[in-house]
């Protein structure tokens, strides 16, 4: 599925949530979405509990990024028009037991896709990176290119990732005030993008590389979002919105 909702970022997140629920119920097969979002600041529930959350939301909006509450954990991460958002929901009767396995699969797959484009892509946390995680994908062990998170529910698991293809400076510009408000330390120099490594490249090329790697492991078929999923997403949308007061 590739349909995105750049003008409705909260709804776009709710669609991923709806797919996860329907995959868990056996109503949908394993489903991957590759989307091209608008400018979004994806906050976690942990961020929302921070005393600086309201100020962080304000900083995101001032920079032109719409705040949303994402499915996965971790800390604040930025998306924009030169990023690819990956959402992968899979059925699993014991989702907790295979958490590491799923992280490893997605990280290695994305690293291989970027490696095929000529990047020295590695799996692992870069010291000082934003939204730090052991399964981040980096370039040369120096800059973060991809962040990965998970959400588990009974019967299924969701993996979410953001691949920063271009305009890494926009990631730095918005995250500096947001992380300052949240009281989190990080090194802006660790935020990179695919273009920083190999020069001019478009979203199509990166998407093709990812799908090519996936196609080596799985039989892929294109599907459209159905009415039932969209209706459920509309009901879930309030769960992912952030009010003007930060609530």
The share of the chain scoring above pLDDT 90, in percent, equals 94
Mean predicted confidence (pLDDT) in 161-181: 98
Name the CATH topology of 9-217. BirA Bifunctional Protein; domain 2 (3.30.930)
Q: What residues does each domain of the chain span?
A: 9-217
pLDDT single digits (tens) 183-233: 999 999 999 999 999 999 999 999 999 999 999 999 999 999 999 999 999
Tell me the two tokens of residue 70.
Answer: 């994402």
Measured CA to CA in angstroms, residue 55 lies from 29, 59, 108, 168 at distances of 40, 6, 36, 23
pTM comes to 0.95
Quickly state the pLDDT bin for 243 (edges 50, 70, 90). Answer: confident
Between CA 61 and CA 182 the distance in angstroms is 15
pLDDT single digits (tens) 54-94: 999 999 999 999 999 999 989 999 999 999 999 999 999 99
pLDDT at 245: 54
Mean predicted confidence (pLDDT) in 121-128: 98
Structure-derived torsion over alpha carbons of residues 119, 124, 129, 133, reported in degrees to the nearest 10: 130
């Amino acid at each position: 599925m590739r349909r995105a909702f750049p003008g409705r970022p909260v709804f776009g997140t709710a669609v991923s949530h709806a797919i996860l629920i329907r995959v868990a119920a056996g109503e949908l097969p394993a489903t991957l979405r590759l989307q091209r979002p608008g400018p979004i600041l994806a906050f976690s529930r942990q961020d929302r509990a921070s005393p600086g959350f309201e100020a962080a939301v304000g900083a995101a909006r001032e920079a032109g990024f719409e705040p949303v509450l994402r499915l996965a954990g971790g800390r604040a991460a930025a998306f924009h028009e030169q990023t690819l958002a990956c959402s992968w929901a899979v059925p699993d009767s014991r989702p907790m037991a295979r958490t590491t396995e799923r992280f490893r699969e997605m990280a290695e797959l994305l690293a291989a896709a970027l490696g095929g484009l000529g990047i020295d892509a590695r799996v692992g946390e870069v010291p000082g990176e934003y939204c730090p995680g052991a399964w981040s994908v980096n370039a040369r062990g120096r800059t973060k290119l991809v962040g990965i998170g998970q959400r588990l529910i009974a019967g299924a698991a969701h993996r979410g990732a953001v691949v920063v293809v271009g305009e890494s400076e926009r990631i730095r510009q918005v995250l500096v005030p947001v992380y300052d408000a949240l009281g989190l330390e990080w090194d802006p120099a660790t935020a990179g993008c695919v273009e920083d490594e190999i020069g001019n490249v478009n979203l199509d090329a990166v998407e093709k590389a990812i799908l090519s790697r996936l196609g080596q492991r799985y039989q892929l078929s294109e599907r459209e979002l159905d009415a039932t999923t969209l209706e459920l997403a509309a009901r879930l949308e309030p769960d992912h919105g952030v009010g003007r007061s930060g609530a």
